[in-house]
Amino acid sequence: MPSTIPTSAAAASLPSTVDASNIDEVNRLLENCSPREILTWAVSTFDNLYQETAFGPSGNVITDMISASNISVPVIFVDTLHHFKETLDLASRSQKKYGFRLHVYRPENCESESEFASRYGEELWKNDDVSYDYLVKVEPARRAYRELNARAVITGRRRSQKGDRSKLNILEIEKGTGMFKLNPLALWSFQLVWSYLCANEVPYNVLLDQGYKSIGDYHSTNPVREGEDERSGRWSGSNKTECGLHKDYFAMRSEFLARKKTMSAQQVTV
């Protein structure tokens, strides 16, 4: 059973079911709830609820809050095969501390970076970043949702990360699939996240101590300088702000298939 925590008036007013007809009202209420209240409500509201995380700072906070609330949420980790070794080490440390059930999904039919390169070419992220994102992130995540029958996933996205996230709602219904995405830290700043990690001795990626703030694949992640946006170290020198996990899945798949068809046609004519 969830541990007893003070319940705000907004949390007490949250409905036991949510759909397109009342999601705006639900979001209004959620904005006046604490993250732990949001998580506790979600566990009692959604069947097949999962936390999806790459063990970034926000995800680690959420994992700790779930544990502190004595509720259980299994975790989906998309291993792109291109993570920093420090990220993989953190995944192991976090699972050991909190004991959550961990579902790891990788690019289809690949178990290593070298195997991926052999199948799709060296440095695909440079030559065709759309195909790369689809193969290492979007497709494995969709396979996870399908095989696990996920109805809702918890993410660590926040408005303060700016870009496409600046107007993020706490609860979203994904276009085309009807799956819910819950963003309990949507209103938090990076400083709040960092303060929580330190105050509660939450395991975090040691790269944060080296100037990193948002950590993705090793080839497209850099430390950030003082005063820079926390995600400015991702895809430096480009206008890219998202890897594809939180974009329109059907549009991503359509673009990937179109590129695949073009590449196949070019190979035939060579």
Rounded average pLDDT over 1-9: 60
DSSP line for the chain:
-PPP----HHHHH--S---TTTHHHHHHHHTTS-HHHHHHHHHHH-SSEEEE----HHHHHHHHHHHHTT----EEEE--S-B-HHHHHHHHHHHHHH---EEEE-STT--SHHHHHHHH-TTHHHH-HHHHHIIIIIHHHHHHHHHHT-SEEE----GGG-GGGTT--SEEE-TTT--EEE-TTTT--HHHHHHHHHHTT----GGGGGT-SS--BGGGB----TTS-TTTTBSTTSS----STTS-HHHHHHHHHHHHHHHHHHHHH-
Q: Specify the pLDDT at position 249.
A: 65
State how many domains the chain has: 1
pLDDT in tens, 122-132: 999 999 999 99
- Catalytically active residues are 243
Better pLDDT: 200 or 5: 200
Whether 20 is in a domain gets the answer: yes
Containing structural domain, residue 249: 9-269
Whether 74 is in a domain gets the answer: yes
Whether 3 is in a domain gets the answer: no
Rounded average pLDDT over 210-228: 86
Whether 151 is in a domain gets the answer: yes
Q: What is the pTM of this model?
A: 0.88
Whether 50 is in a domain gets the answer: yes
Q: Supply the mean pLDDT for the chain.
A: 89
Query: Which has the minimum average pLDDT: 39-53, 69-83, 150-164?
Result: 150-164
Whether 2 is in a domain gets the answer: no
Whether 199 is in a domain gets the answer: yes
Q: Specify the pLDDT at position 207.
A: 95
CATH number of the domain within which 66 lies: 3.40.50.620
pLDDT > 50? residue 3: no
Whether 1 is in a domain gets the answer: no
Better pLDDT: 173 or 165: 173
